[in-house]
Amino acid sequence: MPIYKAPIRDISFASREVFDFGTIKALPGCSDMTDDLVDAVFQEAARFCENELFPLNQSGDQEGCQWKNGEVTTPKGFKNAYDKFVEGGWTSVSSDPKYGGQGLPDSLEFILEEMICSSNLSFSLYPGLTRGAYTAIHAHGAEDIKQKFLPKMIDGTWGGTMNLTEPQCGTDLGLLRTKAVPQKDGSYEITGNKIWISSGEHDLTENIIHLVLAKTPTAPEGVKGISLFVVPKFMVNDDGSLGDRNKLQCTSLEHKMGIHASPSCAMSFDGAKGWLVGKENAGLSYMFTMMNNERIGVGLQGLGISEVSYQNAVVYARERLQGRSLSGVKHPKKPADPIIVHPDIRRMLMTMKSYIEGCRMMGVWIGQEVDISQKHPEKEERQRADDFVQLMTPVVKAFFTDMAFENTNHALQIHGGYGYTQDFGVEQYVRDARITQIYEGTNGIQGLDLVGRKLGMHMGRLLRRFFHPVQEFIKEHEDNEDLAEFVGPLAKSFDRLQRAALTVAQKGMANPEEAGAASTDFLSLFGHTALAYLWTRAVIVSKPNENGSESLFYKGKIDTARFYMQKILPRTSTLFATIMAGKKTLMDIDEEAFGPFDFSGFSQEITRAS
């Protein structure tokens, strides 16, 4: 059976020592965020995740969601756990107090999301999608829409979804076919089909509030003609009570590789009544408010599932006896040494540890900048923070989830043959992690977003939000001999990143395929460099404490940073070389050279699906 303990000490290190939580407490509306309150929230969240959500993870995966006659039943125990989740106030942590939320910082919410995702990724999707739908309605909905839907979404009585994908369009939403016909009462009739809708139907909440992308009859072609509509499963009366069921239904569930306890629904809207959010033909930008929130959330899913995989790998490596240490017997009273003595096992564990703890620091960083972008009294500071969040969102989504798939595979490998079976639970983490690289915009799309949009936005202003502080940090510490083994590699990686950014920008302007060919490697180079910066900051915090009462903890930080600089960061050299090689070897090969295969029947199936 797998295990999980919330990493409270490391979370505190990232949020209070590497970064100053006092910065958040100084923001308007956050003055009551005392250390005691934060500690209480962390401890209670850890208790709930460890004792209520985690025990349902493996059983939920094995049972899965069940569909019958348009209704979806969640696995045993999920409804009871969700009711306790609502009772504990976890659905309302960072929501607007005007509509019943607690108004706590988003940076705190991000930390809680990691714990929830570690304990039960499938469960996390139900409140996670509701929070995303809340974000879009809160940002763009008219006041009557907000008053009608937000309070019960915030208190967890109602759930939320987003409906983008259709059989013929995923990333390319310009191909969208769902129609919205205006009615005399100001509503719209929504007709169309959506697929892969997480939490599209379930039995956890009384109502489900769908956010649906559709086109009105007079809409212009392409993405410029997309509007956003709020479409409830059950109609809502003026007094807030539920009325008749709307004309929509779940027609089937997808049969998936992982996240079995989260229903991925095919949804049919047959003249369903909906209401416009904001203005017509502005729906795509509105939906991206939700999408960007979800992309950070998916990054946190990757972090969470990496953490629980790592914990189980460490426990197994300490207990599994196989062979003897190459340097001599370490445990002479045992018939063999535990596998944690072997270099290759340590290579995998240290890779996981350095990525996880580095990404946790990055998650705290972007969480605090989200708070500043929303709450800081000065417009310039809000803009600076928002620029940073926009820049880092694709990095968090793609880098964290690529890291998660690597980490979960390391965990499985450490377990050996047992890992490939269901007995120890780690094979589920590999399957669950894989979807995080795909949904909310594939990781390839995140790379294109970074190089195709974020690098050039506002004449490079977004990029400077990262480049300038890192450059200043390197300059400040480059002559410190005690930090030379950390600052030196950081400076080299940062130089590669700067040169790569300039090359991608210049080549991409002349030929967009050059930027596209470099995009995935550039995002990885960016993520690895950011972690090098954060690990150097972690060393600065840890060195004064390496001989104190928590010497093991702080010395572990320094050792992990050293491993990252010497064993992981050199990957940036290869990434830089592949970026500089350009598009030629990718794009010059003829399409027919990929193989003389006749898949005409398969092609017909794809055409029918489209």
Known catalytic residues are: 440
- Residue matched to tokens 């930090």: 483
Longest CA–CA separation in the chain, Å: 84
> Among 100, 1, 104, 96, which Cα is nearest to 44's?
104
Residue positions counted in the chain: 610
What distance lies between CA 494 and its chain's CA centroid?
25
Cα 361 to Cα 355: distance, rounded to the nearest angstrom: 10
Q: DSSP letter for 75, please.
A: P
What distance lies between CA 80 and its chain's CA centroid?
26
- Residue matched to tokens 């599994």: 320
CB atoms within 10 A of CB 23: 15
CA dihedral defined by 22, 119, 261, 79, rounded to 10 degrees? -80
Cβ-based burial of 604 (10 A; exposed 0-12, middle 13-18, buried ≥19): exposed
DSSP string, 206-261: SEEEEEEEEB-TTPPSGGGG-EEEEEESEEE-TTS-EEEEPSEEEEEE---SS-TT
For residues 493 and 417, the answer to whether their CB atoms sit within 8 Å is: no
Q: DSSP letter for 325, please.
A: -
Q: Which residues of 274-295 are buried (b: 16+ CB within 10 A; e: fewer)?
A: bbbbbebbbbbebbebbbbbbb
**For 461, what's the count of Cα atoms within 13 Å in the CB-facing half-sphere?**
11
Cα 489 to Cα 498: distance, rounded to the nearest angstrom: 14
